[in-house]
Amino acid sequence: GNSVTQMEGPVTLSEEAFLTINCTYTATGYPSLFWYVQYPGEGLQLLLKATKADDKGSNKGFEATYRKETTSFHLEKGSVQVSDSAVYFCALPELSSNTGKLIFGQGTTLQVKP
Amino acid sequence: NAGVTQTPKFQVLKTGQSMTLQCAQDMNHEYMSWYRQDPGMGLRLIHYSVGAGITDQGEVPNGYNVSRSTTEDFPLRLLSAAPSQTSVYFCASSWTGDDTDTQYFGPGTRLTVL
């Protein structure tokens, strides 16, 4: 089956710093790729996704590009805010066909200091 | 439209007690899943369902039962709680259209087993 590896945290940044959280995957075919965010005390929310190679997902200033050459889907933001402090999860379907099941990375905790 | 709802938000059990975690969605999604979240381990799939009357095991099913009598509801039962089941539990749902793999999460149930 498919799998995902995510950089370990925690990541601590100052406000307005540049953010990169690395995510690499192994998969059969070209499944959709996702980033979910979990704010303190809440459930997971879809942050962005890309459904095919070379697609760029974006939302709330975050971006990630589906790169099949490097099997990566790194999350980036040019200027983080304190409100971005959360846990970020990279994910992809368990299998490349639609099954409704996702495989998640272990999560990366981001703390942004004023 | 409430999305995915979970009850209770918090629960404390003694070893050996049983309980049911409730999950409901009002989006007419076919797919529903239960995950547990533990520190450093991301989210792990417990059980999932592709429709009413159909359930299957995920990565960590031992100690948990599920049933799916309606499209809306997907309860998770702990038959005899153990301290190893202390965790945060998330229910998720997704639909069977082109966007099957995007999952929508409930707010979670934080369970402590003493």
Mean pLDDT across B17-46: 92
Contacts of residue B79, Cβ cutoff 8 Å, sequence gap at least 6: B18, B63, B64, B65
* CA separation for the pair B14, A3 (Å, rounded): 36
- pLDDT for A96: 53
- pLDDT for B67: 95
pLDDT at A24 exceeding the cut of 80: yes
* Cα B57 from chain centre: 12
- pLDDT for B98: 60
Mean pLDDT of chain A: 92
How open is the CA angle A31-B40-B8, to the nearest 5 degrees?
Answer: 90
Mean pLDDT across B5-31: 95
More confident residue, B25 or A95: B25
Mean pLDDT of chain B: 92
Q: Does A42 touch chain B (CB under 8 A)?
A: yes
Calculate how close chain B gets to A79, using CA atoms only, in Å.
26
Contact A49 B102 (CB under 8 A): yes
Length of chain B: 114
Closest in B45, B96, B101 to A32, CB measured? B101
pLDDT at A7 exceeding the cut of 80: yes
What are the two backbone dihedrals, phi and then psi, of residue B65, each rounded to the nearest 5 degrees?
A: -125, 150
Confidence of residue B34 (pLDDT cuts 50, 70, 90): very high
A51: left (phi over 0), alpha (psi -120 to 50) or beta: alpha
SS3 A82: helix
Q: Which of B32, B27, B97 is nearest to B69 (CA)?
A: B32
- pLDDT for A79: 96
A94-106 confidence digits (pLDDT tens): 875 556 688 899 9
- pLDDT for B95: 81
A46-72 confidence digits (pLDDT tens): 999 998 899 999 999 999 999 999 999
Q: Does A31 touch chain B (CB under 8 A)?
A: yes
- pLDDT for B66: 97
Say which DSSP state A72 is in.
B
Q: Are strands B109-113 and B10-13 parallel, antiparallel or unpaired?
A: parallel
If you average pLDDT over each of A26-30, B30-34, B40-44, which comes out highest? B30-34
Calculate how close chain B gets to A2, using CA atoms only, in Å.
14
CB-CB neighbors (< 8 A) of B33 in chain A: 100-101
* CA separation for the pair A46, A65 (Å, rounded): 16
H-helix or E-strand spanning residue A12: strand A11-14
Contact A93 B101 (CB under 8 A): yes
The answer to whether the CB of A100 falls within 8 A of the CB of A6 is: no
Q: Does A106 touch chain B (CB under 8 A)?
A: yes
pLDDT at B61 exceeding the cut of 70: yes
Mean pLDDT across A18-45: 92
H-helix or E-strand spanning residue A13: strand A11-14
